[in-house]
Structure formats: structure tokens, C-alpha cells
């Protein structure tokens, strides 16, 4: 694990975690829109 941390700077890990979190929130929002739209029909 230390060799991986040496290759990638700390800022890159923080940015990667933020991108993954935002991506999951966006995907959940789109999924929610589709499920609500299907229920209304």
C-alpha cells in the first residue's frame, strides 16, 4: 500500500474519492427520476 501511495500524490486520491462520490450521487438521482417516472405512468 505504501508503494501505491508513493506513486500517487495525496491530492489525486482526494480528487478520485470526490469524483466517485459525485458519480454515485448523480447515478442515484437519475435512477430515482426513472423509478418515479415509471410509477407515474
Angstrom distance (rounded) from CA 9 to CA 18: 15
Written as nine digits, the cell of 33 is 427520476
Query: What residue ranges do the domains of the chain occupy?
Result: 2-40
Q: Determine the number of helices (DSSP H) and then strands (DSSP E) in the chain.
A: 2, 0
Residue-wise pLDDT for 9-41, tens only, equals 888 999 999 999 999 999 999 999 999 999 877
Of the candidates 13, 41, 18, which has an alpha carbon nearest to the alpha carbon of residue 5?
A: 13
- pLDDT computed for residue 2 by the predictor: 62
Amino acid at each position: 500500500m505504501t508503494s501505491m501511495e508513493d506513486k500517487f500524490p495525496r491530492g489525486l486520491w482526494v480528487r478520485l474519492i470526490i469524483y466517485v462520490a459525485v458519480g454515485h450521487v448523480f447515478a442515484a438521482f437519475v435512477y430515482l427520476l426513472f423509478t418515479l417516472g415509471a410509477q407515474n405512468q
